[in-house]
Amino acid sequence: MLAHNQQTIYGTTIVAIREGNKVVMAGDGQVTLGVQVMKGKAKKIRRIGNGKVLAGFAGATADAFALLERLEAKLDQYPSQLARACVEMAKDWRTDKYLRRLEAMMIVADTQKTFLMSGNGDVIEPDEDVISIGSGGGFALAAARGMLSVSDKKRDIEDIAKRSLEIAADLCIYTNNQIVIETLS
């Protein structure tokens, strides 16, 4: 519980869509402190692991950066083994006194796998080709799944990711339409 004079940073919608060995991750740029927009063009998606892994984060920014650094160290320790790096990172995140206080979630993906990671020790590989996190994550997930279900074989997953974020921005007050898209293939 926060004291009355503390405010929580809210916001972020991240969506990842996979089609074969191609993965697209999109995120909005809004950072909100209480009822005020503090920044509109934040970049919440990073390339790590020598550019071979996309990582998108939601939650406390400093916490997310600390976790990204730790995950990058695990990727250095276990090159080309995203699943193992994520599991080892999740173990540390859950058991380390400092790390377990960090409040963030991440989606990480390479050309083979996509995972959602949380401080509860979760490393979840989605059943579907789309996953999302953040305040507008449910909206983006529903929009992307809907578009994927009606799209033909020539669908453009970059466009689907962008449109799903635009829909989330229309519905979630903590999500804006300053969208960053990264692709690995």
Tokens of 43: 């970049």
Q: What proportion of the chain, given as a percentage, has pLDDT over 90? A: 64
Q: How far apart are CA 55 and CA 121, in angstroms?
A: 17
Residue 100 has pLDDT above 80, yes or no: no
Backbone angles phi, psi at 76, to 5 degrees: -65, -35
| pLDDT band with cut points at 50, 70 and 90 for residue 9 | very low
Please tell me the predicted confidence (pLDDT) of residue 80.
Answer: 92
Q: How far apart are CA 118 and CA 178, in angstroms?
A: 25
Residue 103 has pLDDT above 90, yes or no: no
Mean pLDDT score, 34-45: 88
Please tell me the predicted confidence (pLDDT) of residue 4.
Answer: 38
Task: Say how many residues make up the chain.
Answer: 185
Query: What's the distance, CA 100 to chain centroid?
Result: 19
Range with the poorest average pLDDT among 58-67, 71-80, 114-123: 58-67
Q: How far apart are CA 146 and CA 45, in angstroms?
A: 23
Among candidate residues 12, 13, 32, 175, the one labeled active-site is 12
The domains of the chain, with CATH numbers, are 9-174 (3.60.20.10)
Most confident of the following: 23-27, 57-61, 116-120, 173-177: 23-27
Mean pLDDT score, 106-117: 96
Please tell me the predicted confidence (pLDDT) of residue 151.
Answer: 60
Please tell me the predicted confidence (pLDDT) of residue 152.
Answer: 62
| pLDDT band with cut points at 50, 70 and 90 for residue 3 | very low
pTM: 0.89
Residue 72 has pLDDT above 70, yes or no: yes
Backbone angles phi, psi at 141, to 5 degrees: -60, -50
Q: How far apart are CA 41 and CA 99, in angstroms?
A: 27
Residues 6+ apart with CB under 8 A from 4: none
12 catalytic residue (yes or no): yes
Mean pLDDT score, 3-23: 74
Residues 6+ apart with CB under 8 A from 41: 29, 178
